[in-house]
Amino acid sequence: MKIVIGTRTLSSWSLRGWLAAKLSGLPFHTECIEMDSPAWQDGSAKRELPSGKVPYLVDGGVPVWDSMAMILWLADKGGHDRFWPRELPARGLAYAMAAEMHSGFAPLRSGCPMQLQKRYPDFVASEAILADVRRIDALWSEARDRFGSDTDLPYLFGPFSAADVMFAPVVYRIDHYHLPVSATARAYVDAMLAHPWLREWQAEARREVLRYDAYALPGGVAA
């Protein structure tokens, strides 16, 4: 199984796809396409990608693109209980949260692009970004209060699940743009930042050399 990702520093959707591959427990190898490059900009680096986007998974000749399709496919192969909470009420909330993240929160996604080598301590968030953060905080708090806090594990539903996969890039945005969140959400952010898979991704990202950094907001300080 091969997963094609974009530059780790920048590609929030690639992080989701790669975490899903990790969560599957299946062996895979990773191929990284440099997004901060002329070949990405002129489209030549995207020829292999069915949708022209990363992440992209190829499993024994079966092409699976889009992070949500990858989660569905990998849950079929690796086991749904690895990906989603076992109890139906928790599973329903996890599905809804993952879907809302996949299709929503455009102001947060476009206003705070993922840039793992930079921090923006003086970032001034728009009201639309703050509204997204409040909604995400409420979702995280509901998952933690209703389902996560019964367990010893600090993730949304206790064990690390597909819901955490979907929100992982938001964790970095909250941390790097210093966005205001509740104590429950901050504890979740800290737990996610300490997760070995996020640390592995972050360590690889720190080694990347960006040429233009065209996706980043101006300013910021080295992370």
Ligand X SMILES: N[C@@H](CCC(=O)N[C@@H](CS)C(=O)NCC(=O)O)C(=O)O
Tokens at residue 96, please? 């809804």
- Nearest distance, CB of residue 204 and ligand X, angstroms: 16
| Contact (CB, 8 A) for 88 and 58 | no
| Binding residues for ligand X (CB under 6 A) | 6, 11-14, 52-55, 66-68
Cβ distance to ligand X smaller for residue 14 or 24: 14
- Nearest distance, CB of residue 73 and ligand X, angstroms: 12
- Nearest distance, CB of residue 211 and ligand X, angstroms: 15
- Nearest distance, CB of residue 94 and ligand X, angstroms: 17
Cβ distance to ligand X smaller for residue 12 or 141: 12
Cβ distance to ligand X smaller for residue 6 or 148: 6
Cβ distance to ligand X smaller for residue 142 or 208: 208
